[in-house]
Amino acid sequence: MATGLLGAGGSALAQTPPPVGVRGAITAVSNDAIKVHTNRGEDLTIKINNDTQVRAVTLAKVTDIKPGSYIGTAATPLPDGSLKALEVHVFPPAMAGTGDGHRAWDLGPKSTMTNGTVGDLVAANGRTLTLKYKGGEKKIVVPDDVPIVNLEPGDRSLLAVGTKIVLFAKKAADASLSASFISAGKDGVTPPM
């Protein structure tokens, strides 16, 4: 029995834990870490290093989205099988292909994230677009009140006390968190993802 328990524990340890979503505001910055007060009321320390990418999040408009644009959208399912956007982020051309696909997301119950290339875009009767990704496509309805932002290359100067951020951190065996990329609001923008 002890052998069975050890074997089960070993296989559990071999699995990579899922990334930890962190949304909140920076409360302190050092060369190798940021402290974040999360939207859930937690105070976390997130390790950063020279390889940690920083992306700026700036305000965008629906007119910034055109057929051929590469975007991401957190969304929830609608009864007809389409998705209702919770937010939309527009990638710069250099980041086209980032996170391509459709998967579960942690923004709300039953939420998903879809990253892909905009095909059809219809502005009549609300805003509806077709988002194409490798292996499929989704119809996305974008309500008028949904935040739309640009993701742009950024740098560490964006990591300042009070800046609102979204990041996904790797959790190490010692429970420490490390960020491989950080989306940081520029000029007071709150990243909606």
With 50 as the cut, is the pLDDT of residue 98 above it?
A: yes
Kind and range of the H or E run holding 28: strand 20-29
Q: What is the DSSP letter of 7?
A: H
pLDDT of residue 8: 41
Q: Provide the pLDDT for residue 123.
A: 66
pLDDT at residue number 121: 75
CA–CA dist 171, 111 (Å, integer): 23
Q: Which residues have CB under 8 Å from 79's CB, separation 6+?
A: none
Confidence of residue 178 (pLDDT cuts 50, 70, 90): very high
Residue range(s) occupied by CATH 2.40.50.140 in the chain: 18-55+153-185
> Residue 33 pairs with which residues in a beta bridge?
47
Q: Cα dihedral angle (89, 92, 96, 98), rounded to 10 degrees?
A: -50
**41 confidence band (pLDDT: 50, 70, 90):** very high
| pLDDT at residue 106, rounded to an integer | 87
Q: Which has the higher per-residue pLDDT, 136 or 4?
A: 136
pLDDT score of 10 more than 80: no
Mark out the alpha helices in the chain (DSSP H runs).
2-14
Q: How far apart are CA 120 and CA 94, in angstroms?
A: 22
pLDDT, residue 62, reads: 85
Query: What does the pLDDT average to over 132-146?
Result: 93
pLDDT > 90 fraction of the chain, expressed in percent and rounded: 75
What is the pLDDT confidence band of residue 9, given thresholds at 50, 70 and 90? very low
CATH number at 18-55+153-185 = 2.40.50.140
Mean pLDDT of the chain: 89
In angstroms, the CA 139 to CA 142 distance is 10
* 148: number of Cβ within 10 Å: 21
Residue 36 confidence (pLDDT) above 90? yes
pLDDT at 37 over 90: yes
Of the ranges 10-14, 87-91, 114-118, which one carries the lowest mean pLDDT score?
10-14
Paired with 116 in beta bridges are: 71
Round to whole Å and give the CA distance between 131 and 114.
Answer: 8
**Does the pLDDT value for residue 126 go beyond 80?**
no
